[in-house]
């Protein structure tokens, strides 16, 4: 399975949010690190075709996703950065609604929703309206809907924002446990969320990918470059992140 | 007073209160016009009726404004006259006017004079008879106490009879005057103000819960001044709001009332001079009564406000407060409205929240209820209970405010709501996308309330008008048309000719009788009878000739244009669709358009407001497929609105009239000589209703487009209502002619455009096509933006 971004560019007037990005994603978890405005969400919105691209192509299994249309979205699971939900719906109704939109048959949806409510620890509040949920609970509902339908491409934009440490670890472990037969893009600026679970980490800055490698390789590369100023053995992915940010 | 500042700085609250104030004033004024300025406009009946039919020659209607002016002038001339003298003079005048109006010598002014005299006479009769009425109460007491069942002085009945007589005995010396009492009468009978005041107080009370909505309840509760002091301040704010609300709302009513009816100068007259307040056993002037009433009204409003505050404050979850308040209000209203006066539980009827809301009832009705065998006046009970109740409720409100814990966990209502949600979830999980869209529109966006209101309004709309027949000849023509209605054949002409012959025989018989009478060979009664018959026959003959001419014209046109000629009685169609019914058509179309706009305006905006756009766009069915369901939803909503409004219209047509000409070609209808399709009348009507559905659905597509361009629900409702309804309202009710092409009610009404002299079927179809093209463009645009979600930007 392959998702290719070829020369992908997004401009808003004179501002370039994503600048000629070329990446090929295969099965695995990709952690995307970058400061606010680095272009993480723009890249994700382009992959989900929620914003029009200015230049470039996005190919899934060799075909442009615009041509694939609904067929691509059938294999897509997306959790947006902004919490979008219908506050008058209960968690269960919302998940059934999303399952319908994802064209999942009712019987399958029922089993999946039960499983996801359990995993996201929402079973006991499934009949509560989303408007009455805390920020963390809403995040978990959105994560659950993203994973409905066993998607092959999972795009998670800040999935652990607003979660308490215990929930964060729980969700992180769950993401890590997801089958490796899928592409998981996980954007965050919390380094610890991806340090241990990512197969590869992308560092983004001002719309460009400034580094992409396995976490230990990134640490090694950066450590070599800055070895004079750090204590050997105490170099982490967080330091790599700060290095790429220029701090 | 930061709390007061916080409340009055909320633009929505201030806007709502201003709207309530304006609505109250306008509706009060409107009611005066609708009630014909409280005048009885009936004129004496009489005149010659030629046929035993439903049609009679109608007299031109009396202008209520002019009649009221005449009434006031007359009242001013009679004001200082002794009542018996005034009564005599008015009775004589009424007799003279009645004779003139039922005879042949009536003048244009007579109708106005009659209405003024008749109404003033009724008033004078009341004033002159008031002393007798009081004496009647005393006589009634003497009579009733002679019966064994009433004369026990220790029973409620005995005590009630004695108490009633004693209370009205005090009014014996009161001197009543002929006053202009329209303002006070209208003020006491306009109950909407009571409910608008309740609504205003509810809005103020709900503003006390802002901290709960904003998640600041715990913070406020934890501050040193967030409990007792804040509660006391809120009580003071509620008191001020009650007083101000009463002054503004009731003050507006009085101001408009005195401006319309006059009567400032009569404020020092006895309150019983106002007929509505004749049963008030209290010696005071009109001005004194109004002052007392307004003070009590303010106190009662404060009490009502406190009760509302207590209800909503006692429930932790803001969402449930409305439900609780609505349930309590509904319960109280049911008791107040439906509990019989004679019921053993009638204390619940009068010791009720709505007694304090509809305070005027206490003053226009006299009633004692049985409290442990003692008769107590409902007014006295309510008045004396007011102060202790206010103190008790204020203390309770403050107690609840101070002791209700913000983080006390899920309460009983919360648990009940969770249980209800779980049941609802069971049903909702079976729904597919369309079902969920319907659920969102009807339940989440409260469309069910709009639908309920629509049905209520549709049931109350008027769908037909009585076609006024102004001449006897026209009356005869209508009745002959009904008599000979059907396919025009040689038999039709033969029947008409036979009838015509009979009439001519009567006319010539009278001509012969004239000669015979002048020769003295005929007695006067016989001559008079023949004269009246001939006079009637002449009118009938003229009407019949018109009917024959119409039959001939239709037969000729039928031959030329290839349709079967039918004589159709068009009264039913004129009554429902004709130019005379245009105001009805406008109201029906406006109702349909408003309901449809409100039902659909939230469709797109709700997605945007909920931040769901990108999430939906990432799903396989969240773009075109979802939009298709929305369009289907619009079609269903259109059908609902169409069925409610036009279903009622069709029902009226079918039940009010006996139509037999359904098979007749539509071209036979006098209003449709140029109808381009060769179809039956039934098919033409089906086409009309289909066009209306298409026009409504096109409007629905435009609403969906507007909704998709707006980010917030409120903005969407405002924008959709403004764009869809404002041109129609300004054209229809303000007369701005250049907005006519944008008035969407016209293609929805259809009939007035098709039937108007400047219109016709072709211009109408052109108009409908333009609207449908706009709708098609809207749908294409919606598909484009839904498939390319990223291109979409909200404009509001």
The answer to whether residues B292 and B393 belong to one domain is yes
Confidence of residue B51 (pLDDT cuts 50, 70, 90): very low
Q: Which of B567, B583, B616 is the last residue of a domain?
A: B567
A12 touches chain B (CB under 8 A): no
Assess if residue B57 is contained within a domain.
no
Helix (H/G/I), strand (E/B), else coil: A164: coil
Within 10 Å of residue B453's Cβ, how many Cβ atoms? 14
Residue of A46, A95, A101 best to disrupt the B interface, most CBs of B under 10 A: A101
Q: Which of B519, B552, B567 is the last residue of a domain?
A: B567
Which residues 220-239 on chain A approach chain B with CB closer than 8 angstroms?
none
Within 10 Å of residue B99's Cβ, how many Cβ atoms? 13
Percentage of chain A surpassing pLDDT 70? 95
Non-local (6+) Cβ contacts of B156 within 8 A are B370, B373, B374, B375
Burial of B756 (0-12, 13-18, 19+ CB in 10 A): middle
B25 vs B29: CA distance, rounded Å? 6
pLDDT value, residue A231: 54
Search chain B and give the residue with CA nearest A155.
B618
Search chain B and give the residue with CA nearest A88.
B444
B436 to A71: CB separation less than 8 angstroms, yes or no: no
B369 vs B381: CA distance, rounded Å? 10
The answer to whether residues B15 and B134 belong to one domain is no
- Assess contact for A180 and A200: CB atoms under 8 A: no
The answer to whether residues B343 and B211 belong to one domain is yes
B615 touches chain A (CB under 8 A): yes
A90 touches chain B (CB under 8 A): yes
Closest CA to B31 of B178, B177, B196, B179: B196
B468 vs A55: CA distance, rounded Å? 73
Start-to-end CA distance of chain A, whole Å, equals 36
B782-788: long-range contacts at Cβ-Cβ below 8 A with a sequence spacing of 24 or more?
Answer: B782/B627, B782/B631, B782/B701, B782/B704, B782/B705, B782/B708, B783/B624, B783/B627, B785/B708, B786/B623, B786/B624, B786/B626, B786/B627, B787/A69, B787/B623, B787/B624, B788/A52
B409 touches chain A (CB under 8 A): no
Dihedral sign, Cα of residue A144, residue A146, residue A149, residue A153: negative
Dihedral sign, Cα of residue A17, residue A21, residue A26, residue A32: negative
- Assess contact for B508 and B533: CB atoms under 8 A: no
pLDDT value, residue A37: 86
Which residues 737-796 on chain B approach chain A with CB closer than 8 angstroms?
787-791
Search chain A and give the residue with CA nearest B428.
A93
Q: Tell me the DSSP string of B278-302.
A: TT-----BHHHHHHHHHHHHHHHHH
Distance from CA of B651 to the nearest CA of A (A): 38
Assess if residue B74 is contained within a domain.
yes
> For B142-197, how does the pLDDT look when each residue is reduced to its tens digit (9 = 90+)?
888 777 777 777 788 888 888 888 889 888 888 899 999 899 999 999 989 999 99
The answer to whether residues B709 and B601 belong to one domain is yes
B127 vs B181: CA distance, rounded Å? 12
Domain map (residue ranges) of chain A: 3-75+152-245, 85-151
Residues of B in contact with A68 (CB under 8 A): none
Q: Tell me the DSSP string of B128-162.
A: HHHHHHHHHHHHHHHHHTTSTTT--TTSHHHHHHH
Assess if residue B478 is contained within a domain.
no
- Assess contact for B306 and B238: CB atoms under 8 A: yes
* Phi/psi at B366 (5° precision): -110, 120
A97 vs B429: CA distance, rounded Å? 8
B294 vs B288: CA distance, rounded Å? 10
Search chain B and give the residue with CA nearest A128.
B418
| Fold held by A3-75+152-245 | Rossmann fold (3.40.50)
Non-local (6+) Cβ contacts of B224 within 8 A are none
Joined together, the tokens standing for residue B371 give 């409290």
Q: Which of B545, B567, B589 is the last residue of a domain?
A: B567
More confident residue, B150 or B405: B405
Closest CA to A148 of A207, A92, A230, A195: A92
The length of chain B in residues reads 796
Closest CA to B492 of B409, B565, B585, B385: B565
Residues of A in contact with B620 (CB under 8 A): 70-71, 73-74, 101-103
Which residues on adjacent β-strands are paired with residue A209? A204
Q: For B389-397, what is the mean pLDDT?
A: 92
Percentage of chain B surpassing pLDDT 70? 94
B257 vs B23: CA distance, rounded Å? 15
Q: What is the largest CA-CA distance in chain A?
A: 60
The answer to whether residues B319 and B211 belong to one domain is yes
H or E element at residue A10: strand A3-12
Search chain A and give the residue with CA nearest B427.
A93
What radius of gyration, in Å, describes the C-alpha atoms of chain B? Answer: 34
> For B510-560, how does the pLDDT look when each residue is reduced to its tens digit (9 = 90+)?
888 888 888 888 888 888 888 888 888 888 999 999 999 999 999 999 998
Residue of A69, A76, A89, A123 best to disrupt the B interface, most CBs of B under 10 A: A89
The answer to whether residues B217 and B268 belong to one domain is yes
Structure letter (DSSP) for residue A90: B
> For B716-729, how does the pLDDT look when each residue is reduced to its tens digit (9 = 90+)?
999 999 999 999 99
B46-50: long-range contacts at Cβ-Cβ below 8 A with a sequence spacing of 24 or more?
Answer: B46/B101, B46/B102, B46/B103, B47/B102, B48/B472, B50/B472, B50/B475, B50/B476, B50/B536, B50/B539, B50/B540
A93 to B444: CB separation less than 8 angstroms, yes or no: no
Closest CA to B302 of B234, B203, B210, B201: B201
Search chain A and give the residue with CA nearest B787.
A69
The answer to whether residues B545 and B580 belong to one domain is no
The number of folded domains in chain B is 4
Distance from CA of B628 to the nearest CA of A (A): 13
A84 to B622: CB separation less than 8 angstroms, yes or no: no
pTM of the model: 0.73
A127 to B418: CB separation less than 8 angstroms, yes or no: yes
Assess if residue B226 is contained within a domain.
yes
The answer to whether residues B309 and B333 belong to one domain is yes
The answer to whether residues B490 and B347 belong to one domain is no
Start-to-end CA distance of chain B, whole Å, equals 35
Residue among A48, A90, A106 whose CB faces B421 most closely: A90
The answer to whether residues B765 and B681 belong to one domain is yes
Closest CA to B317 of B215, B164, B196, B463: B215
Distance from CA of B780 to the nearest CA of A (A): 18
Non-local (6+) Cβ contacts of B717 within 8 A are B597, B598, B601, B602
B111 vs B139: CA distance, rounded Å? 40
B626 touches chain A (CB under 8 A): yes
pLDDT value, residue A81: 83
Least reliable range by pLDDT among B43-52, B599-608, B733-742: B43-52
Assess if residue B431 is contained within a domain.
no
B309 vs B69: CA distance, rounded Å? 46
B621 to A71: CB separation less than 8 angstroms, yes or no: no
Assess if residue B251 is contained within a domain.
yes
C-alpha distances out from residue B393 to A161, B518, B570, Å: 46, 93, 64
Non-local (6+) Cβ contacts of B516 within 8 A are B522, B527
A126 touches chain B (CB under 8 A): yes
Within 10 Å of residue A24's Cβ, how many Cβ atoms? 10
Non-local (6+) Cβ contacts of B62 within 8 A are B41, B43, B111, B112, B115
Identify the residue whose tokens are 């909702």: B428
The length of chain A in residues reads 247
Residue of A10, A47, A58, A93 best to disrupt the B interface, most CBs of B under 10 A: A93
Within 10 Å of residue B140's Cβ, how many Cβ atoms? 13
Residue of A8, A68, A70 best to disrupt the B interface, most CBs of B under 10 A: A70
Confidence of residue B55 (pLDDT cuts 50, 70, 90): very low
A52 to B790: CB separation less than 8 angstroms, yes or no: yes
Helix (H/G/I), strand (E/B), else coil: B445: coil
Phi-psi region of B654 (alpha: psi -120 to 50; beta: other; left: phi over 0): alpha
pLDDT value, residue B56: 46
The answer to whether residues B622 and B759 belong to one domain is yes
> For B194-215, how does the pLDDT look when each residue is reduced to its tens digit (9 = 90+)?
999 999 999 999 888 888 777 7
Assess if residue B597 is contained within a domain.
yes
* Phi/psi at B457 (5° precision): -65, -40
B612 touches chain A (CB under 8 A): yes
C-alpha distances out from residue B611 to A84, A245, B30, B680, B781, Å: 4, 30, 43, 53, 21
> Does B61 score more than 90 pLDDT?
no
A82 to B790: CB separation less than 8 angstroms, yes or no: no
Residues of B in contact with A83 (CB under 8 A): 611
> For A41-79, how does the pLDDT look when each residue is reduced to its tens digit (9 = 90+)?
899 999 999 888 999 999 999 999 989 989 999 999 999
B790 to A100: CB separation less than 8 angstroms, yes or no: no
Assess if residue B450 is contained within a domain.
yes
Give me the interface pTM, i.e. the ipTM: 0.89
pLDDT value, residue B4: 81
H or E element at residue B389: helix B378-403
Q: Checking DSSP bridges between strand A55-60 and strand A153-157, what pairing results, if any?
A: unpaired
CA angle A90, A93, A98 (to 5 degrees): 120
Joined together, the tokens standing for residue B25 give 């004033």
Structure letter (DSSP) for residue B621: T
Residues of the domain holding B129: 64-169
Percentage of chain B surpassing pLDDT 90? 44
pLDDT value, residue B756: 66
A52 to B430: CB separation less than 8 angstroms, yes or no: no
Confidence of residue B52 (pLDDT cuts 50, 70, 90): very low
Confidence of residue A224 (pLDDT cuts 50, 70, 90): confident
Burial B287-324 (b: 16+ CB within 10 A, else e): eebbeebbebbbbbbbbbbbbbbbbbbbbbebebbeee
The answer to whether residues B403 and B529 belong to one domain is no
Instruction: Count Cβ–Cβ pairs < 8 Å, chain A vs chain B.
Output: 109
């Amino acid at each position: 399975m392959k998702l290719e971004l070829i020369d992908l560019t997004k401009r808003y007037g004179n501002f370039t949010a994503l600048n000629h990005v070329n990446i090929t994603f295969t099965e695995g978890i990709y952690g995307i690190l970058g400061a606010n405005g680095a272009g993480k969400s723009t890249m994700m919105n382009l992959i989900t075709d929620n914003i029009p691209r200015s230049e470039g192509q996005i190919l899934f299994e060799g075909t442009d996703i615009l041509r694939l249309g609904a067929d691509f979205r059938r294999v897509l699971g997306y959790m947006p950065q902004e919490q979008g939900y219908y506050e008058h719906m209960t968690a269960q109704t919302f998940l059934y609604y999303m399952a319908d939109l994802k064209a999942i048959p009712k019987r399958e949806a029922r089993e999946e929703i039960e499983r996801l409510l359990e995993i996201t620890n929402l079973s006991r509040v499934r009949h509560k309206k989303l408007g009455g949920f805390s920020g963390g609970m809403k995040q978990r509902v959105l994560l659950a809907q993203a994973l409905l339908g066993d998607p092959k491409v999972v795009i998670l934009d800040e999935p652990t924002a607003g979660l308490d440490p215990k929930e964060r670890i729980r969700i992180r472990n769950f993401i890590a446990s997801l089958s490796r037969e899928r592409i998981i893009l996980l954007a965050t600026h919390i380094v610890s969320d991806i340090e241990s679970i990512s197969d590869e980490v992308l560092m983004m800055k001002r719309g460009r990918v400034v580094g992409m490698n396995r976490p230990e390789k990134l640490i090694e590369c950066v450590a070599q470059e800055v070895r004079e100023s750090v204590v050997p053995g105490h170099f982490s992915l967080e330091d790599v992140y700060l290095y790429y940010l220029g701090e | 007073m930061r709390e007061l500042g916080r409340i009055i700085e909320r633009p929505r609250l201030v806007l709502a209160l201003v709207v309530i104030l304006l609505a109250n004033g306008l509706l009060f004024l409107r009611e005066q016009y609708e009630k014909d300025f409280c005048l009885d406009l009936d004129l004496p009946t009489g005149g010659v009726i030629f046929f035993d039919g439903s049609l009679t020659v109608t007299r031109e209607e009396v202008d209520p404004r002019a009649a009221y002016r005449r009434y006031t002038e007359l009242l001013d001339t009679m004001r200082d006259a002794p009542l018996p003298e005034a009564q005599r003079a008015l009775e004589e005048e009424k007799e003279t006017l009645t004779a003139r109006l039922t005879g042949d010598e009536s003048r244009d002014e007579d109708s106005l004079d009659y209405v003024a005299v008749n109404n003033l006479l009724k008033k004078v009769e009341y004033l002159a008879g008031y002393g007798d009425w009081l004496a009647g109460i005393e006589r009634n007491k003497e009579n009733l106490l002679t019966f064994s069942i009433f004369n026990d002085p220790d029973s409620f009945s005995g005590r009630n009879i004695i108490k009633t007589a004693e209370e009205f005995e005090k009014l014996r010396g009161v001197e009543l005057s002929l006053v202009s009492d329209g303002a006070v009468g209208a003020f006491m009978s306009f109950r909407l103000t009571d409910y608008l005041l309740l609504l205003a107080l509810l809005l103020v009370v709900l503003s006390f819960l802002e901290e709960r909505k904003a998640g600041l309840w715990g913070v406020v509760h934890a501050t040193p001044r967030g409990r007792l002091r804040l509660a006391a301040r809120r009580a003071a704010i509620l008191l001020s709001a009650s007083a101000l609300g009463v002054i503004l709302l009731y003050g507006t009513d009085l101001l408009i009332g005195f401006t319309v009816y006059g009567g400032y100068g009569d404020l020092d007259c006895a309150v019983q001079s106002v007929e509505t307040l004749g049963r008030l056993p209290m010696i005071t002037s009109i001005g004194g009564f109004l002052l007392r009433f307004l003070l009590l009204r303010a106190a009662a409003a404060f009490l009502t406000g406190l009760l509302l505050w207590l209800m909503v404050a006692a429930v932790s979850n803001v969402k449930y407060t409305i439900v609780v308040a609505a349930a309590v209000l509904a319960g109280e209203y049911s008791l107040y409205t439906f509990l019989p006066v004679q019921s053993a539980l009638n204390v619940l009827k009068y010791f009720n929240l709505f007694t304090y809301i509809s305070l005027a009832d206490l003053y226009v009705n006299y009633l004692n209820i049985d409290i442990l065998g003692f008769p107590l006046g409902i007014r006295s009970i309510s008045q004396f209970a007011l102060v202790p109740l206010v103190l008790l409720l204020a203390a309770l409100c403050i107690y609840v405010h101070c002791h209700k814990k913000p983080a006390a966990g899920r309460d009983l209502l919360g648990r009940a709501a969770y249980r209800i949600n779980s049941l609802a979830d069971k049903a909702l999980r079976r729904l597919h996308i369309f079902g969920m869209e319907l659920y969102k529109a009807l339940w989440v966006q409260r469309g069910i309330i709009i639908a309920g209101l629509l049905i209520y309004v549709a049931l109350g709309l008027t769908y037909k008008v009585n076609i006024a027949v102004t001449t006897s000849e026209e009356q005869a023509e209508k009745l002959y048309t009904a008599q000979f209605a059907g396919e025009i054949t040689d038999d039709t002409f033969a029947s008409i000719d036979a009838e015509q012959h009979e009439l001519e025989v009567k006319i010539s018989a009278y001509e012969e009788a004239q000669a015979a009478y002048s020769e003295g060979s005929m007695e006067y009664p016989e001559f008079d009878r023949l004269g009246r018959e001939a006079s009637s026959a002449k009118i009938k003959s003229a009407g019949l000739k018109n009917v024959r001419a119409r039959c001939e014209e239709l037969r000729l046109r039928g031959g030329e244009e290839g349709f079967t000629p039918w004589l159709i009685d068009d009264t039913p169609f004129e009554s429902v669709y004709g130019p005379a019914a245009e105001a009805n058509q406008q109201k029906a179309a406006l109702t349909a358009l408003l309901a449809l706009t409100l039902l659909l305006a939230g469709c797109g905006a709700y997605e945007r407001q909920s931040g769901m756009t990108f999430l939906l766009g990432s799903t396989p069915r969240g773009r075109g497929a979802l939009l298709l369901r929305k369009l289907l939803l619009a079609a269903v909503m259109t059908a609902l609105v169409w069925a409610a409004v036009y279903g009622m219209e069709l029902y009226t047509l079918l039940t009010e009239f006996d139509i037999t000409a359904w098979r007749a070609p539509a071209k036979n209808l006098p209003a449709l000589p140029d109808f381009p399709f060769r179809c039956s009348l039934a098919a033409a009507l089906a086409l009309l209703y289909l066009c209306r559905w298409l026009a409504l659905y096109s409007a629905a597509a435009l609403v969906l487009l507007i909704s998709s361009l707006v980010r917030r629900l409120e903005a969407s409702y405002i924008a959709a209502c403004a764009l869809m309804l404002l041109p129609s309202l300004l054209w229809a009710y303000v007369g701005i002619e250049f907005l006519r092409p944008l008035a969407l009610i016209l293609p929805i009404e259809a009939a007035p455009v098709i039937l108007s002299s400047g219109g016709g079927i072709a211009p109408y179809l052109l108009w409908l096509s333009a609207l449908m093209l706009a709708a098609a463009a809207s749908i294409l645009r919606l598909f484009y933006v839904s498939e390319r979600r990223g291109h979409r930007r909200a404009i509001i």
